[in-house]
Structure 1
Amino acid sequence: MDNKIDQKTQKALLEALARANEHSRQLQDKREQQLWKKINIPVKLSDALNNLSKNELDKIRQNLGLKNLSSLKKGDLTGKLVNLIPVKFKDILYVLDLERYDMVKRMFKNAGPVMANNISVSKVESLMGYGIAFPGVHHNQKILFMPLELLDIFKEIDGKELETIVRRNTEWIKLTHGLLYYYGVMGASTMNNKINQLTGQEVDLLKYFKVLSAASDYYEQIEFSAYGYQDQRVYDAKKILDEQKARPSVDYYSFTKEQLLKAAEMDFIDRTPKLNNFTRFLLEYYDLTDKEIDEMMLQLINMINLDTKPTGMIKYLESRLEFPSFDMVQELTAKLMELYNHTRMWILKGHTPDELFQEEKRYLKPLPAESFRMGQTDSKLFDIRTGAKIGRNDSCPCGSGKKYKKCCGK
């Protein structure tokens, strides 16, 4: 009976997931149709803005900090933006980093358009949201284009000064991304001090905020909250900050500038010796592609930083891999604990549990091996260290002092 219920529930969940995926696909298709409209090149700013919805015009208004325009109807707002975007365009260019500057430069060299097949929708929307460039379809090709008026302004402004500012912005953005990759969350003043130290210059807070705000919208790697700056993977910023504050004697781990610039890249993986050991162990048992390995390592690193119990990580791996034997699971668990104890963690300000273990025994200890359920067909629970069956009323092998059913056996 229970098996039938489980099957019915599973079927219902799969059907719900399929419906959700279909709904998401339909929304994406609708958004694509809205974005990619046929246009003729060259394009005036007024024509580009007339193609936008009122919500899209409002996004430009908000991003450029244009006040007293929120009550205007679409036609009136379009007229105002036609005049105000050129006035603000120098300020817009001064928040760009190298990737967006190069794109603008290519549009200028092409007298307006560049191919947009490999640019994500979110990046297209960000460029449009700042009035930098607009999407369209020309000769059956998706393109991004700059209106004529903005091309003329870029020609006047482009030069050594802008290039210097773009390099500075690029460094600010990459260092911020790298810091948050390892620390998770940082207050504004703490971040400012770190950027000052790393660049050797006093950072203008207002300029820095404007640059990071535009970069957050474009790259979607960091977010702003009441707690300051946070990596987009962070689920509970307050919890991380509370954990960090619980260790006042522990300073932020000191990363080199080069380390932080590497960590700034999207989907960066910190390939530590223990992580490499873990991937080699998996490859001894499974024929996995580089992409599959990277996906699993990214997920495990995220799970560690999101405070997922090792049993949860084992279950995740079980959902991706078929475990051949209990002996293999024992070895897998040991390797996973090594990975856990040597992974840099947000709550530890970029340190690993192993690094802090000796000096901080009363706060933290490397995790012991945890029990593991050998798939759905085997209902026995085992202590990985001894192989003995664990009763639900027995003490939990994780060392918490609680009964198993109240701890890892939930």
Structure 2
Amino acid sequence: MNQVIDYIMSLTNLYGLVHKDKVLEICNIQNDEKIDLEVIDKIMKEAPEMLAKNFVEINGDYFVSETIMEFDEFETQLMQRKGKPFYIPKKEELLKYKNETYFEVPKEYEDLLSYIANNLTDGDEHFAEILCEDIQGICQFAFSVSTIFDIFNRNEISFKSEKQISELMELVMKLANNTRLWENNGHTPNEIFEKIEKPNLRPLPKERFPGFMNFEEMDTTNKKSGPKKVGRNEPCPCDSGKKYKKCCGK
């Protein structure tokens, strides 16, 4: 039963929400020892508190991320993923998602991390990693260009030119299109585009980028002592006891 619970948590973190029948299907595909629906029904009946401690809630026949329920997005999420195939990684990769902070690190993430470290954080790799984790979270959960620039403004990061902004945003868009999304049943926008031929790619904006300070403002603030740098997976500075991404970083 413990392995089935691991699958429930992993699939919920990967998909945002998952029907109990899909949990049963994937468990039986990936394991020699088969289970029946009674095992999952028993977990739904006897272990809701344990699942809730791992940010998984039960809604009817679905296991659902706490975030979706908290923001009343269950029906919206169901509609967004309608007709889309499921991304089902191999067992070893899939069970990594038991950790709710886990995300797949594609080449596009590494490219962005390298660019930020080399061009925007004076070689501070830890700071660059914090920024990239924030950007990845935005790409996954609430993508907008202005929100991306809010990260840099909040951390008083200045840009040398619009060319540098364009280079950065091209890398961000590549990451966004290769980030696994709940509304795509775990697929990336690029994968959905290839699989069902829909124009889901996020284009690089052609207009002047919104949401950031002008160069004069950035130049005067960049040398000031910056605010505390908090990663999405670090404790929230408000002392709530929650992780930053589940509290003030939402």
Note whether the superposition's TM-score is higher than 0.5: yes
Q: What residue number does 2:220 align with?
A: none
Per-residue CA shift, 1:155-211, capped at 9, x if unaligned? xxxxxxxxxxxxx41x22322222122211112333333333333412413332246
| More contact order relative to length (CA 8 Å, sep ≥ 6) | 2
Question: Residues 136 and 179 of structure 2 are in contact (CA less than 8 Å); yes or no, is this contact kept in structure 1?
Answer: yes
Match of 1:251 among 75, 85, 99: 85
Aligned to 1:240: 77
Three-state SS of the structure 2 residue aligned to 1:229 is strand
Segment drifting more, 254-263 vs 231-240: 231-240
Shift of 1:280: 1.1
Gaps of 5+ in 1: 1-167, 380-410
Distance 1:353 1:209, change over 3 A: same
CA distance in 1, matches of 2:59, 2:182: 16
Q: Decide which structure has the larger Cα Rg and report it.
A: 1
- Counterpart in the other structure of 1:319: 154
Q: AA paired with 1:315?
A: D
Distance in 1, Cα, partners of 2:109 & 2:116 = 11
Matching residue of 1:369: 204
Please list, as runs of the form range in 1=range in 2, the aligned pairs for 1:5-404 lying within 5 A after superposition: 168-169=1-2, 171-200=3-32, 201-203=34-36, 204-210=39-45, 212-218=47-53, 220-226=54-60, 228-234=62-68, 235=71, 236-245=73-82, 248=83, 250-285=84-119, 286=121, 287-290=123-126, 292-325=127-160, 326-361=162-197, 363-370=198-205, 371=207, 372-373=209-210, 375-377=212-214
- 1:52-86 CA distance string (max 9 Å, x none): xxxxxxxxxxxxxxxxxxxxxxxxxxxxxxxxxxx
The normalised TM-score by structure 1 is 0.45
By how many angstroms is 1:240 displaced? 1.6
- Superposed CA RMSD: 2.6
Deviation of 1:216 after TM superposition, in Å, equals: 1.7
2:81 is paired with a residue whose SS is helix
Alpha-carbon distance in structure 2 between the residues aligned to 1:196 and 1:215: 23
Match of 1:116 in 2: none
Q: 1:241 to 1:306 in 2, by over 3 A?
A: same
Question: What SS does the aligned partner of 2:139 have?
Answer: helix
What CA distance in whole angstroms lies between the structure 1 residues aligned with 2:67 and 2:59?
13
After superposition, what is the alpha-carbon deviation per residue over 1:305-356, rounded to whole angstroms, capped at 9, x for unaligned?
A: 3342233223333323512222211111000000001111111111111122
Q: Note the alpha carbon deviations across 1:276-321, whole angstroms, 9 max, x for none.
A: 111111111214353x445444433332233422332233333235
Any stretches of 5+ residues in structure 2 without a counterpart? 217-250
- Equivalences, count: 205
What is the CA–CA distance in structure 2 between the aligned matches of 1:315 and 1:256, rounded to whole Å?
Answer: 36
Counterpart code for 1:333: M
Q: Which amino acid aligns with 1:242?
A: M
Q: Quick one: distance in 1 between partners of 2:74 and 2:9? A: 16
For normalisation by structure 2, the TM-score amounts to 0.71
**What is the CA distance between 1:212 and its match in structure 2?**
4.4
Contact preservation (8 Å) 1:253, 1:351: yes
User: Which letter does structure 2 place at the counterpart of 1:339?
Assistant: L
- Distance in 2 (alpha carbons) for counterparts of 1:215 and 1:298: 28
- Name the amino acid aligned to 1:345: L
Q: 1:319 is matched by which residue type in structure 2?
A: R
Shift of 1:374: 6.6
Structure 1 SS opposite 2:63: strand
2 CA distance for matches of 1:226 and 1:307?
A: 26
Q: 1:16-36: CA deviations, max 9, x gaps?
A: xxxxxxxxxxxxxxxxxxxxx
Shift, 1:272, TM fit: 1.2
Q: How many angstroms apart in 1 are the aligned matches of 2:22 and 2:150?
A: 37
Percent identity at matched positions? 16
Contact 1:174–1:260 (CA under 8 A) maintained in structure 2? no
What secondary structure is seen at the aligned counterpart in 2 of 1:358? helix
